[in-house]
Amino acid sequence: MSAVKENWQTTRPTIRERSKFMFNNDLYSDAKFVVQMADQGESETKQAIPAHKFVLSISSPVFEAMFYGELAETTDSIELPDCEYESLLEFFRYIYSDEVNLSGSNVMGVLYLAKKYMVPSLVDKCTEFLQDNLDPSNVFSILPSAQKYEEKNLVDQCWKVIDKQTEEAVKSDGFVTIERSLLETIVERDTLGISEVELFKAVVQWATKESETKGLVADGQIKRRILGEKIVKGIRFPVMTNEEFASVVIESKILTLDEVADMFKWFRVKGAQVGFPVSKRGATMASSGLERCFRFGSVVPGWSNDTSRLIFSVNKNILLHGVNLFGSEGCYLYLLNLMIYQLPDDAIVASTNGIFASSPHKSWNYWGFDVLLDAPVSIIKGIRYGIVAEIGGRDSFGGRNGNSHVVSSGVTIKFEDWAGTTGVKQGQLPEIIFSLQE
């Protein structure tokens, strides 16, 4: 041993510095981990990383059992076929020094090892890195691993990115590689921020890629078989325009002739029978972070729908995203035309229309449906606004014992009667959906 090596301890006064010196060092090593390492020619070669059983064991109960348990390893050379050199090296770096150099290329491997060998502090660092670097381009690469390792916070962050930036996410390289089970979940999701025709295009692209991977000709029948009925039946063709359906969906040849005929009946007569969801996406706002103002003291069935009107004003500037309306128990359909007016000029500041399916409310004991505007509307404090909802459909729930002033998230919303049976005390329009304006 050289003079420098003989005195290396004297220049490293802390245990952390001395432990760090032993990282990837043959000195006193009593174990070697053999892993795969890709060279420049993309062929795989094996590389050994020296380690120290004591250091590994005081950091991981798995290593402790491996080296000092009843079934301890009898060999000093341990092959790990389930990881790569770069990831294992960073994993060991953390064990020896509390430091880790995470990157997009190694973080998943390090997270896997941190989970496998039960090093929770490193798991936290990996998930924090992934959350900080999460965006639409990589969300579908990260989400499956987050689900596999049951990292709930990371999973929730992934879904937020998917909901808010859906179109960018489904156009990423990672989208065409996801499992069909995940694609099913996406297609069923209410909160996606994407037009239905663009979502359908992405689904077709996924099926095309899957067909090519399987060596199949990507015609309409093959793509439908690969997608499966659950995905095809989850696409909300009725919310597309006639032109979008004719130019994109028919061209794909995924639907049967009977399904195409039913859809053209739908476009001629809204409410015709059709085997696809008819409500727009965005109907479930529980995970979106928006605020809700519920104005009634009680809810009862048996309200007869026609045109509902209500005036409101606020004491702080907000962004109005939409309203919630009463429906009836069961997935019944309602025709709706919604308009927002600025008073007293009766200027329309927003409007939307469509067909909506009634569903159970997540917080209150009634069935209803959210109606979201295409873009949020700025509501200025002190200005009076009017809501007009022309509702067609069976009798619904109705509100009773309404409040003229409701405080929600620090915003006081004042309600006033407008001409019609719906008013402050009773009727429709149970909730306003909004966010605080910065």
Contacts of 49 (CB under 8 A, 6+ apart): 24, 32, 33, 35, 85, 88, 89, 92
- Answer yes or no: is pLDDT of 271 > 80: no
Separation between Cα atoms, residue 151 and residue 275, nearest integer Å: 36
The pLDDT of residue 179 is 96
- Given a contact cutoff of 8 angstroms between Cβ atoms, the answer to whether 292 and 433 are in contact is yes
Which strand (E) or helix (H) includes residue 396?
Answer: strand 396-400
Predicted pLDDT at 44: 67
Is a pLDDT exceeding 60 seen at residue 317? yes
Evaluate if residue 193 carries a pLDDT over 90: no
Q: Bigger pLDDT: 430 or 45? A: 430
Give me the torsion for CA of 217, 220, 223, 229, rounded to 10°: -150
Record the pTM.
0.64
Residue 184 CB-density burial (10 A; 0-12 exposed, 13-18 middle, 19+ buried): middle
Identify the structural domains of the chain with CATH numbers, from first to last: 3-132 (3.30.710.10), 179-268 (no CATH), 291-436 (2.60.120.820)
Evaluate if residue 1 carries a pLDDT over 70.
no
Burial class (CB in 10 A: 0-12, 13-18, 19+), 90: buried
Q: By CB neighbour count within 10 A (0-12 exposed, 13-18 middle, 19+ buried), where does 105 fall?
A: exposed
**Which tokens sit at 142?**
């990260």
Q: How confident is the model at residue 283 (pLDDT cuts 50, 70, 90)?
A: very low
Give the integer Cα–Cα distance in Å for 188 and 199.
Answer: 11
Question: Could you give the count of Cα atoms lying within 13 Å of 352 in the half-sphere of its Cβ?
Answer: 17
Of 437, 354, 425, 431, residue with least CA distance to 387: 431
Q: How confident is the model at residue 164 (pLDDT cuts 50, 70, 90)?
A: confident
Neighbours of 196 (CB within 10 A): 23
The yes-or-no verdict on residue 2 having pLDDT over 50 is no
Res. 284 pLDDT band, cuts 50 70 90 = very low
Coil vs helix vs strand at 14:
coil
